Structure 1
Amino acid sequence: MLHFYYKTFLENKVEVLYRSHNILSPDHIDIDLIADVFGITIVSLPGAKEEGIWDDYRAAVFLNANKPSIESREAFFHELSHILLHTGNQLSMNRGLLELQEEQANHFQLYAALPFYMIQQIHLPSHEADIIHVLSSEFRVTHQLARKRWEQIQRRVFSGKQQLKFENEVRNQYRRADPSNWSDETKSLYELAIHRKQQKELHAK
């Protein structure tokens, strides 16, 4: 089923970044390792506002030390998106651009926390509840995020199937329109129609 899945530009970008730094399996998705790879300092403080701060020289992600580590991991991936993909001060940003960046960060979080090329390596059970549990356990994310990612994958798979169906229908239409694929009966009817049209045009002159 997963072979119908298609990756977005952003998802491919995350995969290229990961692969270029040999982040190849779920156990490699360690936020300290990833922060080190991208030159980011993690600052974990009780009650801290979860946010990324960066300039041309330094970058830091602040995490709330009071939260469970599994939730802090998810917050890290969201803020990592802003550091790697975005520029500008969100405090002075117009609402439309701010919403776009947040939407991108939400997608990036799913791609970075549960990369599809790693999911493909896992033997997934047949029942959805079990799949959610496996993804949550393998990638050390909450069941909520694992479910969100799995539902996204299912939508992409469905969309991929529909696209393939559409392409096949278009190809079949062209195939039927190609005279070389016509039956003898169809060719005879076509030739008869052409003959009658020519006769009609001849008498009309």
Structure 2
Amino acid sequence: MANTYNNLEDYVMNLLSRINIYYPYQLTIETIYPRLGLSVYYLPQDSMAIADNLFLDNRMSDAALWQEFGHELCHILWHAGDQALIPLSMREYQEWKAENFAQHLCIPTFMLNEKHYLTMKIKLPG
């Protein structure tokens, strides 16, 4: 029986496939951001995205940084403009979408599927 993915799961799978990310060991900030043409800066301030730049709070744990990266990446890929200039309800909507996106990017559904590794038409590492 074939798996059926929702639109977000498909989007994440296509995004990662487009930049040749197929395996969990490849899911790192340092692997993904250059392949997307982004810059990442680690600073002791709240995380934010501006244009193609991600500013991540270096006071966070590695796990929290990974989740924050996914959240801010969503803002770069899906949202435009300055959140300070939009209505509160739209800002809250964008934040909810970014959290949802981050959850799917950080643990991609297609990578949880055991059959995924059996059907991949790529060369296994090693």
Instruction: Tell me how far apart the structure 2 counterparts of residues 121 and 93 of structure 1 sit (CA, whole Å).
Output: 42
Larger % of helix: which? 1
Which residue is equivalent to 1:160? none
Which residue is equivalent to 2:45? 48
1:21-40 to 2 correspondence within 5 Å? 21-40=19-38
Give, in angstroms, the shift of residue 9 of structure 1.
1.4
Which residue is equivalent to 1:15? 13
Runs of 4 or more above 3 Å deviation = 3-6
Larger Rg, first or second structure (1 or 2) = 1
Alignment-mate amino acid for residue 11 of structure 2: K
Which residue of 109, 119, 130 corresponds with 2:102? 109
For this pair of structures, how many residues does the alignment match?
115
Q: What SS does structure 1 have at the residue aligned with 2:53?
A: strand
Gap runs ≥5 in structure 1? 123-205
Give, in angstroms, the shift of residue 70 of structure 1.
1.7
Give, in angstroms, the shift of residue 7 of structure 1.
2.5
TM-score normalized with structure 2 length: 0.83
Give, in angstroms, the shift of residue 6 of structure 1.
4.4
Q: What SS does structure 1 have at the residue aligned with 2:50?
A: strand
Q: What SS does structure 2 have at the residue aligned with 1:10?
A: helix
Which residue is equivalent to 1:61? 54
Give, in angstroms, the shift of residue 121 of structure 1.
2.6
Does residue 89 (structure 1) correspond to residue 82 (structure 2)? The answer is yes
Alignment-mate amino acid for residue 83 of structure 1: I
Gap runs ≥5 in structure 2? 116-126
